[in-house]
Structure 1
């Protein structure tokens, strides 16, 4: 089982992929603004990983 499976049909619409990345990066900004650097770094890493998996390296015919 993968942490984030881009081959899952749930991720096919672009808007869902963009929202997932935006929520992760937005929450990282909230955590950094409140001084919680460890949580901010965690959500920043999750957002960057999601951006790579779901936006940059994503292919419509991914099967996992």
Structure 2
């Protein structure tokens, strides 16, 4: 099972909160004048938005059916 398929991340609100947290961290680092950390947090935000919001496939997250 891939990390993005973990059952904790199935509800949409948790995935949105994760991305919003990373975006807030990016803004915080920018306001503190830490460009490098802001770039790292911004990259995490972009990757998280792609992985958890844009490319997320709920059918991948379903557990396999038992026969």
Say which one has the larger Rg: 2
TM-score (norm 1): 0.87
Match of 1:37 in 2: 35
The answer for unaligned runs of 5 or more in structure 2 is 62-67
For residue 62 of structure 1, report the CA deviation from its aligned partner.
Answer: 1.6
For residue 6 of structure 1, report the CA deviation from its aligned partner.
Answer: 1.6
> CA RMSD for the aligned pairs?
1.5
Match of 1:26 in 2: 24
Match of 1:55 in 2: 53
- The list of structure 1 runs, each at least 4 consecutive aligned residues, that deviate by more than 3 angstroms after superposition, is none
Contact 1:7 1:61 in 2 (8 A): no
The answer for unaligned runs of 5 or more in structure 1 is none
Q: Aligned residue pairs: how many?
A: 61
Q: What SS does the aligned partner of 2:4 have?
A: coil
Higher helix share: 2
Establish whether residue 9 from structure 1 lines up as the match of residue 31 from structure 2: no
